[in-house]
Amino acid sequence: MTSKTSISELEKICKQAQEAKLSLQKADSNQKNEALKYSAEAINASREKLLDANNQDMEEASKNNLQNSFVDRLELNSGRIDSMISGIDKIINLEDPVGNKTKPHISPSGFEVSKMRVALGVVGIIYESRPNVTADASALCLKSGNASILRGGSEASKSNRVIESCMQEGLERAGLSKLAIQLIKNQDRKLVEQMIKMENYIDLLIPRGGKSLIKIVADEAKIPVLKHYEGICHVYIDSEADMKKAIEISVNAKTYRYGICGTMETLLVHKKLASEFLPNLKKELDNFKVEIRACKSSKNIIDVNDATEEDWYTEYLAPILSIKIVNDFEEAITHINKYGSGHTDCIVSENINSANKFFDEVDSSSVMHNLPTCFADGFEYGLGAEVGISTDKLHARGPVGLEGLTSEKFIITGKGQLRS
């Protein structure tokens, strides 16, 4: 049972975030960029401390026998810290959307109407495993003028605390309230149930983690939720695909990192190329010890395990791949729209008309042509970083960067007109 003390601590954090958002909303782009610059410098100066904290988290994860995909997302190394800092630097260089106005138009009554980008207010982010989210999400919220309340998983608690401290140092050095970025340190799971009902304080919730976490938040929250459940991503090898390109894209889409939501989980192959393509692909995937589960037609060509109906619906986050041979383009589209999660899907083809048709007919947040699905990432899209990848269709869809953390309000300028 959650103690009254824990709930009051959470309410205190929420109230502090509400107050701190005002300092961000008054800050101009230069001051926000200064805070980000100082935060990046603090992370760089705290490398040793951060790696030590992460090693402690990793040791605990090992003791608790966490899944490999969890451990992969949890681990920090010098390269990942570099990426964290680089992500903040890129956010600094992005245009600040806050205050941007649309071109005005004149209403029938003669007054001027436009829209202006504004911050949402306070953003609550609930996530598992990935300590880099603490930096990425808080940096995006800061630049877009939002206070952030971060609730990371217990498995990354030590790493998250170091990163929070660095981000808060950046805020203070820039003359902003450090309480604009706050990490909930109490790991009582019941606090999440309370957090998602704080509609008087939090304007948007972003859950990042397993399907069960996201479903609980989406089902029980009293606050708008920006979500995606799974990354069941497909690559379709079209009848007019370049063979070399198709092999390389398929291997990279599966093996780049198994634990990310943009990993290919199902490969669809046009029957025209299957007999040549599949043996060559299997040879490459064997080098990575990837287990293949395939349809009956595929098994007539390569020696692999049977795919079940459940496999087409599964996000493995592991070295496992489902393969199906399709008769034509239409069957590939039908399969993707039936079994996919609306995350990211790709066509490999040298026919631009087929690629354009794929763009039109696949209902996903990112649709790709001749590119591995693992590129589905805010950093790669030039957003600096992302707070998550939304498969919703309202407000924001796909990798959510600065603009996705803002809204619009109408700006109306009159000359004393009266309504009659």
Which alpha helices (DSSP H) does 150-308 contain, by range? 157-173, 190-195, 211-220, 243-255, 271-286, 296-299
Tokens for 122, please give them.
């306070």
Tokens for 28, please give them.
């101009």
- Go through 261-272 and write b for each residue having 16 or more CB atoms within 10 A of its CB, e for each that does not: bbbbbbbbbbeb
Alpha carbons 243 and 348: distance in angstroms, whole number: 9
- Minimal CA–CA distance to 322: which of 202, 232, 198? 232
Confidence class for position 31, pLDDT limits 50, 70, 90: very high
The predicted-structure confidence for 266-303, as pLDDT tens digits, reads as follows 999 999 999 999 999 999 999 999 999 999 999 999 99
Confidence class for position 1, pLDDT limits 50, 70, 90: very low
Query: Domains in the chain, ordered, with CATH?
Result: 4-226+400-413 (3.40.605.10), 233-375 (3.40.309.10)
Confidence class for position 11, pLDDT limits 50, 70, 90: very high
The predicted-structure confidence for 66-102, as pLDDT tens digits, reads as follows 888 788 889 999 999 999 999 999 999 999 999 999 9
Q: Judge whether 325 and 269 are in contact, CB under 8 Å.
A: yes
What pLDDT does residue 122 have? 98
* Residues whose CB falls within 8 Å of the CB of residue 224, separated by 6 or more in sequence, listed in order: 203, 204, 205, 395
Alpha carbons 312 and 408: distance in angstroms, whole number: 39
What pLDDT does residue 387 have? 84
Residue 390 pLDDT > 50: yes
Q: What is the mean pLDDT of the chain?
A: 94
Alpha carbons 34 and 11: distance in angstroms, whole number: 29
Number of Cβ within a 10 Å radius of residue 366: 23
Output the pTM of the full model.
0.85
What pLDDT does residue 5 have? 58
Residue 349 φ then ψ, to 5°: -160, 150
- DSSP β-bridge partners for residue 233: 264
Concatenated DSSP letters for 127-154?
Answer: E-S-THHHHHHHHHHHHTT-EEEEE--G
Distances (CA, A) of 107 to 102, 111, 410, 412, 419: 14, 5, 13, 10, 13
CA 264 to chain centre: 16
- Minimal CA–CA distance to 142: which of 115, 122, 116, 166? 122
Among the listed ranges 86-100, 113-127, 210-224, which one has the minimum average pLDDT value? Answer: 210-224
Per-residue pLDDT, averaged over 366-385, amounts to 90
Residue 333 pLDDT > 80: yes
Which alpha helices (DSSP H) does 256-350 contain, by range? 271-286, 296-299, 309-312, 329-339
